[in-house]
Chain A
Amino acid sequence: MTNLSTFINSATSRRRFLAGAGASAGAVAALGITGCAGGTTSAPSNPTTPSTAVTDTDILNFALNLEYLEASFYLYAATGAGLQSSDTTAGSAATYQTVGTVTVGDAAAVPGLTAAQQQILNEIAFEEQAHVRFLRTALGTAAIPMPDIDLSFFGPLAVAATITTAATGSGSFNPFSSFDYFLVGAFIFEDVGVTAYSGAAPLISAAGVTAGYLTAAAGILAVEAYHAGYIRTSLTGRAIAAGSAAAYPYLGAANLVADLRATLTVGDSAAPSTSGSVETSLTLPTSLTTPSAIVAASASDAVGFSRTVNQVLHVVYGSPTVGIGKGGFFPNGVNSPLATTTA
């Protein structure tokens, strides 16, 4: 943990990662130990519930922010372009009306794919696009527009995760540069999607349950887990085929992402896991008698993890700091009353 904090500090000094988060070296160094980078002296009793009541609309719109991000990433990777404009507009009654833009950076159709690999990218892109459309339809006039999205954040994120040139071959980390890099990029999102829906499910009101929102959320949760299963199976399978961790550095790179996520979210001390261990590292099975570690779940009872709204924001903002409302993949924050981290 100390090493990771050190790495994050060095990354911070070079990149805009954590920019706007007031990221002093001291603040970040503390997170590995106390889990409270913001210097909060005591955690709120229930950090997932802000002072104003969270409505089902808030919850669905929060999910829609994440789906905008995921869909944009996968669509660029599959086709070189993002959501069509009609999928990004604001509902007439939405609190937020400005349609955001995508900072493209290196985002482009991933080159050199086999036909089978291209079909996989197409599937995930289509399915995340379908989730955007489903949520927009379910929300109707309350649907938020797409927020500003920064797909160039992968670079700073990779630096913070200490995914180095040496670890992944040549060049800087770019999830749009090859299938294997893409898998690592996708790894950043998928488990987060699973845990975000898992964390949101109990927040849905009784009326929302009757309206079918819970069933819908659980169904999207399952699809995110199918995707995560695909990504993690592919990383593991390709590592096995390569024969060693050294021959397939992408497995290790994904685990560095998991380590970083754990570090970013550890600050939410009242979250389901106060240790920050809502992560399961991938392993490289080396024989017919060693297990893989495809599933991300608790070691004790194999139940999938959940993340609070705050924990999800810490990941997508790329910051462990309490009290910030933007950063990372969302340079101007998510379109939500929950946008600012409170724990």
Chain B
Amino acid sequence: MLTLGVSSLAGLVIGGSATRANAATVAYSDTDILNFALNLEYLEANFYYLAAFGTTIDKANTASTAAGAPLITLAGTVGTAGTVSGGSKVPFTTIPVASYAIETAVEEGKHVQLLLTALGSSAVAQPAINLGTAFQTLATAAKIPGGSGFSPYASDATFLVGAYVFEDVGVTAYHGAASLLTVPANLVTAAGILAVEAYHAGLIRTTINYLDPTGATIAGYTNLISTLRASLSAAGLLGVAPGSYDANPDDFGLATVSVSLGGGTNATATRITDADATNVIAFARNTTQVLNIVTGGGAVSGTAQVSPAVGVFFPAGMNAGPNGFK
């Protein structure tokens, strides 16, 4: 069940039936899609390993070993191997946040291992990843107060903001990929990883909401980040309308909103879930939208695609097979 059928996929190409805007112009195989996910998992896993243990995924230390975090052998060979820069262990002071960081690190590490194993010789190498200055660039672009000095490794609170940057993006990326996968076993696995990313997102947003119920600090920052992501995502649509069960803008931070319950009683509700306000279905993004977010706008120039997309977290771009990623 949890073995991906990648080895049987050679030559399979997605037709134009995808409902996602724009992606229909690019023919991605299941291998491509899983490699796209692997790039994102390299990014997420290294962030959490650095924050929780102070090491990258390919180097064990006492903390990572004690937590049972998988030591990743960087076996991917497709593309150009890069190095991970920036990042350091967060001096956690509260058990909830520290324990969540450790749990998430272990789970993202397992996702990397799963995809590496499934893709085998088709797996992309770990690309160059910037987990240091990239956060300051993004925080500045998002207009977070003191953004040029922002570090997700400074405290429990800033770590949560750093994690927030990634988790909802993971949800939308796997969601967008779901309808493109052709092998049922791959879909089941992708749906399972999608669920885990959404658990993480729910966890992060719940915790930020508890810590800053009025939105004065970190919960307020989530709206700045979501606004930036929505803007980058919209640019990634290249003028094409979003999908039928999607919406634009496609990202919302923590806030209170008015909702109608049952017979029409209006009530105030939180916004833990990142979804459209009417149907409450999580957002989906195509590869260009995701690329434009994680490269800080590197995937789009005006109304044209830029390939390879370079910037922010991926200073040399993602690693890809012969089709590249657009």
Docked CA distance A205–B95 (Å): 45
Docked CA distance A236–B272 (Å): 17
Shortest distance from the beta carbon of A343 to any chain B beta carbon, whole Å: 16
Shortest distance from the beta carbon of B115 to any chain A beta carbon, whole Å: 9
Give per-residue flags for A280-294: 1 if the beta carbon is below 8 A from chain B beta carbons, else 0.
000001111111111
Q: Which residues of chain B from 63 to 102 have any CB-CB distance to chain A below 8 Å in the complex?
A: 63, 66-68, 92-93, 95-96, 98-100, 102
B114 adjacent to chain A (CB < 8 Å): yes
Binds A, one of B26-34, B135-143, B205-213, B299-307: B205-213
Q: Which residues of chain A from 272 to 322 have any CB-CB distance to chain B below 8 Å in the complex?
A: 272-273, 285-298, 300-306
Are B269 and A304 within 8 A (Cβ)?
Answer: no
Docked CA distance A119–B19 (Å): 35
A323 adjacent to chain B (CB < 8 Å): no
Ordered by A's residue number, 16 sampled pairs between the chains whose C-beta atoms are within 8 Å are: A126-B259, A134-B281, A201-B188, A209-B179, A214-B179, A215-B246, A221-B195, A229-B202, A230-B203, A233-B206, A285-B98, A290-B99, A292-B100, A300-B110, A302-B108, A302-B114
A253 adjacent to chain B (CB < 8 Å): no
- Contact residue among B189, B199, B279 (Cβ-Cβ distance under 8 Å from A134): B279
Docked CA distance A126–B279 (Å): 10
Give per-residue flags for B34-64: 1 if the beta carbon is below 8 A from chain A beta carbons, else 0.
0000000000000000000000000000010
Docked CA distance A306–B206 (Å): 24
Residues of chain B touching chain A, judged by Cβ–Cβ distance below 8 Å, are: 1-2, 17, 19-20, 63, 66-68, 92-93, 95-96, 98-100, 102-103, 106-108, 110-111, 113-114, 171, 174-175, 178-179, 184, 187-189, 191-203, 205-207, 209-210, 213, 243-246, 256, 259-265, 267-275, 278-284
Are A218 and B284 within 8 A (Cβ)?
Answer: yes
Chain B residues lying within 8 Å of A84, measured Cβ to Cβ, are 262-264
Docked CA distance A224–B171 (Å): 12
Docked CA distance A120–B107 (Å): 27
Q: Which 8 A-B pairs have the closest CB atoms?
A: A229-B202, A304-B195, A225-B198, A285-B99, A219-B281, A222-B282, A303-B192, A122-B269
Chain A residues lying within 8 Å of B93, measured Cβ to Cβ, are 288
> Which residue, of B205, B213, B263, has the highest number of chain A Cβ atoms within 10 A?
B263
- Contact residue among B179, B209, B243, B261 (Cβ-Cβ distance under 8 Å from A126): B261
Chain A residues lying within 8 Å of B265, measured Cβ to Cβ, are 79
Are B203 and A303 within 8 A (Cβ)?
Answer: no
Give per-residue flags for A206-234: 1 if the beta carbon is below 8 A from chain B beta carbons, else 0.
10011110111011111111111110111
Docked CA distance A211–B18 (Å): 9
Chain B residues lying within 8 Å of A226, measured Cβ to Cβ, are 198-199, 201-202, 205, 272-275, 282
A201-B188, A233-B203, A292-B99 are contacts. A123–B282 as well, Cβ < 8 Å? no
- Contact residue among B191, B206, B275 (Cβ-Cβ distance under 8 Å from A201): B191
Docked CA distance A51–B275 (Å): 37
Are A126 and B200 within 8 A (Cβ)?
Answer: no
Docked CA distance A227–B103 (Å): 18
Are A303 and B281 within 8 A (Cβ)?
Answer: no
Residue of A nearest to B117 (CB): A301
Chain B residues lying within 8 Å of A302, measured Cβ to Cβ, are 106-108, 110-111, 114, 193, 196
Chain A residues lying within 8 Å of B198, measured Cβ to Cβ, are 221-226, 229
Are B19 and A125 within 8 A (Cβ)?
Answer: no
Shortest distance from the beta carbon of B17 to any chain A beta carbon, whole Å: 5
Are A79 and B267 within 8 A (Cβ)?
Answer: yes
Chain B residues lying within 8 Å of A210, measured Cβ to Cβ, are 17, 19
A79-B267, A230-B206, A302-B107 are contacts. A223–B280 as well, Cβ < 8 Å? yes
Residue of A nearest to B106 (CB): A291
Residue of A nearest to B198 (CB): A225
Docked CA distance A224–B201 (Å): 12
Docked CA distance A236–B178 (Å): 31
Docked CA distance A272–B243 (Å): 31
A116-B213, A119-B269, A126-B260 are contacts. A219–B100 as well, Cβ < 8 Å? no
A339 adjacent to chain B (CB < 8 Å): no
A37 adjacent to chain B (CB < 8 Å): no
Shortest distance from the beta carbon of B173 to any chain A beta carbon, whole Å: 11
Chain A residues lying within 8 Å of B108, measured Cβ to Cβ, are 302
Chain A residues lying within 8 Å of B195, measured Cβ to Cβ, are 194, 198, 221-222, 224-225, 297, 304
Residue of A nearest to B20 (CB): A215
Are B261 and A125 within 8 A (Cβ)?
Answer: yes
Chain B residues lying within 8 Å of A272, measured Cβ to Cβ, are 1, 188
Are B284 and A295 within 8 A (Cβ)?
Answer: no
Chain A residues lying within 8 Å of B95, measured Cβ to Cβ, are 240, 285-288, 290
Are B96 and A301 within 8 A (Cβ)?
Answer: no
Docked CA distance A194–B191 (Å): 10
Docked CA distance A222–B113 (Å): 22
Are A129 and B284 within 8 A (Cβ)?
Answer: no
Are B114 and A301 within 8 A (Cβ)?
Answer: yes
Q: Which residues of chain A from 102 to 134 have any CB-CB distance to chain B below 8 Å in the complex?
A: 116, 118-120, 122-123, 125-127, 129-131, 133-134
Shortest distance from the beta carbon of B282 to any chain A beta carbon, whole Å: 4
Shortest distance from the beta carbon of B134 to any chain A beta carbon, whole Å: 25
Residue of A nearest to B115 (CB): A301
Are A212 and B19 within 8 A (Cβ)?
Answer: yes
Residue of B nearest to A78 (CB): B261
Residue of B nearest to A81 (CB): B262
Are A304 and B178 within 8 A (Cβ)?
Answer: no
Are A289 and B66 within 8 A (Cβ)?
Answer: yes
Are B261 and A123 within 8 A (Cβ)?
Answer: no
Chain A residues lying within 8 Å of B174, measured Cβ to Cβ, are 218
Chain B residues lying within 8 Å of A11, measured Cβ to Cβ, are none
Chain A residues lying within 8 Å of B110, measured Cβ to Cβ, are 300-302
A78-B267, A119-B270, A302-B111 are contacts. A295–B199 as well, Cβ < 8 Å? yes
Docked CA distance A126–B95 (Å): 32
Residue of B nearest to A83 (CB): B262
